[in-house]
């Protein structure tokens, strides 16, 4: 099993498609439905045995949740904030613009 390249709270961008997002969860290997897997064109399907990232994603038109293989992600170096409406539910924005996962109180 490989170590994930990206961490929760990092802003990444897709290497082929024009969207970016913030990592909010990581699966060490593919962990989605077979239907989702088969919806990817066969010639573009990534390997299952790599980390997959759950992103609060956005493009120029909308915000959504994305599930992306590590091989298709690059670190986003723009420094632009993520506008996804769920960011503040999961993260605290730090003074330097980075994102820190909120702590959860367990009772």
**Cα–Cα distance measured from residue 92 to residue 99, given in angstroms and rounded to the nearest whole number:** 6
Domain ranges of the chain: 11-101
- Sequence-distant (6+) residues with CB within 8 A of 21 are 11, 12, 13, 55, 56, 57, 58, 66, 82, 84
Residue 97 region by backbone torsions, left for phi larger than 0, else alpha for psi between -120 and 50, else beta: left
pTM metric for this prediction = 0.92
For the chain, 107 residues long, give each residue's pLDDT as a single digit of tens: 678 999 999 999 999 999 999 999 999 999 999 999 999 888 888 999 999 999 999 999 999 999 999 999 999 999 999 999 999 999 999 998 899 999 876 66
What pLDDT, on a 0 to 100 scale, did the predictor assign at position 2?
75
Instruction: Tell me the chain's radius of gyration from C-alpha atoms.
Output: 14
Chain-centroid distance of CA 7 in Å reads: 9
């Amino acid at each position: 099993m490989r170590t994930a390249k990206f961490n929760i709270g990092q802003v990444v961008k897709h290497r082929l498609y024009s969207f970016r997002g913030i990592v909010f969860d990581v699966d060490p290997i593919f962990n989605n439905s077979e239907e989702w897997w088969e919806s990817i064109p066969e010639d573009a399907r990534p390997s299952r045995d790599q980390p997959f990232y759950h992103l609060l994603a956005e493009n120029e038109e909308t915000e959504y949740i994305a599930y992306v293989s590590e091989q298709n992600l690059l670190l986003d170096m723009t420094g632009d904030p993520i506008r996804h409406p769920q960011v503040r539910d999961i993260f605290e924005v730090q003074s330097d613009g980075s994102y820190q996962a909120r702590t959860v109180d367990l009772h």
